[in-house]
Structure 1
């Protein structure tokens, strides 16, 4: 009776090994693309030409580096299983927007780096859950405006980088809740100093001058320092479009008048194939290192089926002899 027992054990061992390989392909040691350090809980996936975030990042990860890839979007739940993160770097990617709630589970995060992307706007409340944040990088993006109260929950924030964007103004009271701010970079934005909206920022800079590094370098489009602007100079009432929430009326009308029958059927992505590659978003093609990983996984799967077939034939042969 030892023959069937051994065969069954072999099947269990092979199944466990293959499932482990299919579900644990984030770290290089498991055939993935990222460098993982079990002692420091660091996962480094920087400069891998990734177009999607690797799946199965360990839930106890403390530092996650995704800098220097080709990420153009993020799933809303991309980091919901990583509540222990204290450091997240998404700099030097191609992010054009952030989904609402994408950072809501990162309640222990201290540093969030989003610099050198293509962000044009921020969702309202996108940072509200990051109450332990001490550093926030938004520099070298294309931000044209900031939502009202976007920094209100970041009372521990010490460093905020907004340089090299397209900001012309900030909402009234934008920085009032930043009680611990020590370094705020506002330079290289086209601050519009002809509108009275700039008076809040001008007054805030004067009050914090010498207490907060970097703020004096903010200049108007005419190169005059923002802190020097007077009420006479900023006399106009300017109205800027709310780029964070505005929806074209034609889209609203179309949505309101359409029904389910009018919605075209969309092709279903090859989700199972992409999951096999170990990535979350099915609409991104794998890069070269990802393809290498998928080939190794495919060979492992073929070997798994070959061994299972051999074990079944062995069991059948043993039973016939018995």
Structure 2
């Protein structure tokens, strides 16, 4: 007959096995969504047609690849448990926005790839916690403007990629804190050289010319003239900043029919259902492999709980007889 010590050992073994299963379910080769290299603390979830970020990424992950998927949005807590992360690739997705605070816990991050998405704007303090960042790629997006001070905390940044966006000007002093910058790409943006706002960029390029690579490539949208060559006479106009909000007239009324239609378009959140499946995003259901992974993990959990309960009951039964 099994003694209480042996039963307690069995309970510990079962609990440990269940915890291990929960942590490694993401990376199992037989049906897991992502692949892992435990020796390098690396998780590769690239090119998996993901519409949401898995929630069971190991907390000690240092390199995380989520590129070449179908992510159109990210939950603001998606990376909050990944404090060891040094490399994060989100490029080649369909991201339209970034929630405020999404990168706040990534204090060790060295490189962040956000290129080849559909970002039109950035939250004002989106990069404030990334003080160790040396590489930031925002190229191949649809950025129309940059918030004031968006790069102020990136004092260790060495490479900044901004080419192929819709930028018309740069906020005053936007690059002043980037004292370690070695490379910046500014080409293929519709720089408006008729507005006074462009003079900050012109002066900054002239000051850093010869010290920062690719800095001279910025050209005016109208005549392809280099931004560093424009004069105060060229940039004589006072232009409205692209992020200025136009006030709505007080007399403007919303038709009742529009309000009625909006009410009927409200969708019931599927957050609880998707949490059961193991995913965060409320707007996207997981793909078939993700569902299979989550269901198998759920069945494994139930089996572990049943065995654990049996072990506990046996211990109590033995002690009662004793």
TM-score range, shorter chain: 0.7 to 0.9
User: Which residue matches 1:239?
Assistant: 240
> Deviation string for 1:116-150 (max 9, x for gaps)?
11111010111111111111000001000000111
Per-residue deviation at 1:93? 0.8
TM-score, normalised by the number of residues in structure 2: 0.81
Counterpart Cα distance in 2 of 1:31 and 1:16: 22
- SS of the equivalent of 2:88 reads strand
Distance 1:7 1:95, change over 3 A: same
Q: 1:86 is matched with which residue?
A: 86
Change (3 A) 1:81 1:299: closer
Corresponding position: 1:118 with 2:140 = no
Q: Shift in Å at residue 161 of structure 1?
A: 0.3
The 3 A distance-change label for structure 1 pair 106 and 308 is closer
Distance 1:200 1:212 in 2: 16
1:25 deviates by 2.3
CA distance in structure 2 between the partners assigned to 1:157 and 1:270 by the alignment: 37
Deviation at 1:55, TM superposition (A): 1.1
Paired position in structure 2 for 1:225: 226
Instruction: Check the 8 A contact 2:22/2:56 in 1, yes or no.
Output: no
For residue 160 of structure 2, give the secondary structure of its aligned residue in structure 1. strand
Q: 1:221 to 1:306 in 2, by over 3 A?
A: same
**What is the TM-score with the length of structure 1 in the denominator?**
0.81
Is 1:59 the counterpart of 2:59? The answer is yes
Change (3 A) 1:270 1:126: closer
Structure 1: 5+ residue runs without aligned partners?
255-262, 315-322
In 1, the alpha carbon distance for the partners of 2:117 and 2:39 equals: 31
2:25 aligns to what SS in structure 1? coil
Give the distance between the partners of 1:236 and 1:80, measured in 2 at CA: 45
Q: Deviations over 1:75-113 (max 9, x none)?
A: 111111111111111111111111111111111111111
Secondary structure class of the residue paired with 2:26: coil
- Count of matched residue pairs: 303
Cα offsets for 1:244-294 (capped at 9, x unmatched): xx48758xx99xxxxxxxx998634251x4234322224311113213324
**Which runs of no fewer than 5 residues in structure 2 stay unpaired?**
254-262, 315-322
User: What's the counterpart of residue 318 of structure 2?
Assistant: none
Q: Spell out the pairing of 1:128-139 with structure 2 (5 A cutoff).
A: 128-139=128-139
RMSD: 3.4
Deviation of 1:193 after TM superposition, in Å, equals 0.4
